[in-house]
Amino acid sequence: MNATDAMGEGERTEGKPSPEDGAADGVRFVRNRADKDSRARFSLGRAFSCAWEGVVYTARTQRNMKIHLAVALLAAILGIALGIEPWGWTAIAVCIVVVFAFECMNTAIEAAVDLVSPAYSELAKHAKDCAAGAVLVCAIGSVIVAAIVFVPPVMALMGF
């Protein structure tokens, strides 16, 4: 039995959400095999809506994303207070976006691994650890960039 059969999508009609999709009222829509086979249109607006739902889900459910959001807010406040240069704003903005994107990917990878490997698996552990490690690498890089951007103005304020 494949994953599609296990989820009962073979019985679903085009465009109708399953209970697994999270809504019986049809508000949420996840493409299923019937939709893909019929080449049903999936609007660009709906694609962006689904993407935004993923970002919101990550922010609402993942502790580390909440930490990243708080640190990003602090970086913005510090940047305003210190009057950092435009190149510094660019570097900080890129770091924030990269960390947020990697945290969303980490959440997606963890969910997919949990879906296909509900029992403990050493390989699943490695996949999840590597995804989390990628976020850690981005966060460490962001701290280094923050030091490059924020330390000189702080030192100048302290008279060094």
What is the set of active-site residues?
103
Token pair listed for 11: 């019985």
- Mind spelling out the 3-state secondary structure of 87-142? HHHHHHHHHHHHHHHHHHHHHHHHHHHHHHCCCCCHHHHHHHHHHHHHHHHHHHHH
Question: Which conformational region is residue 154 in: left (phi greater than 0), alpha (psi within -120 to 50 degrees), or beta?
Answer: alpha
How far apart (Å, rounded) are the C-alpha atoms in residues 10 and 32? 9
Angle at 96 between CA 102 and CA 29, to 5 degrees: 50
